[in-house]
Amino acid sequence: MTRSQSGVGGTQMYVALVAALVVALALVAFGAWRQGIALLGAGLVLGAGVRAVLPEARAGLLRVRGKAFDCGWMLALGAGLVTLAFIVPRGFTG
């Protein structure tokens, strides 16, 4: 594959995940922790999905270990964070 081919690669998705992380942390820092944690978790779940469908040659910075490991940890962490955002009672402030 050449670099001139269009489509989303792992490096572009990695940059999008880092951008989502920055926005999520800003939300948490300014008091909207539930939305920030949910955004971070959703970004990780999306990253796991992209990593699952991209071939190894195009995985870019999303490739850390094997495909199963990468998808598994991102999916587990993302699902856990989204669950946390919805499970903590609304009155909880920290």
Residue 6 lies in a domain: no
User: For residues 72, 78, 81 and 84, what is the CA-based torsion angle, rounded to 10 degrees?
Assistant: -70
Q: Is residue 94 part of a domain?
A: no
Q: Is residue 32, in this structure, part of any structural domain at all?
A: yes
**Tens digit of each residue's pLDDT (9 = 90 or more) over 26-80:** 999 998 899 999 999 999 999 888 888 888 877 777 778 888 998 899 999 999 9
> Does the residue 82 lie in any domain?
yes
In a domain, 3, yes or no: no
Predicted pLDDT of residue 4: 46
Q: Total structural domains in the chain?
A: 1
> Pick the residue with more confidence: 24 or 58?
24
The DSSP H or E segment spanning 74 is helix 67-87
> Can you give the residue range of the structural domain that contains 34?
11-87
- For 1-16, write each residue's pLDDT tens digit: 455 455 667 778 888 8
Question: Which of 9-43 are b and which e, b meaning 16 or more Cβ less than 10 Å from the residue's Cβ?
Answer: bbeebbeebeebeeebeebbeeeebbebbbbbbbb
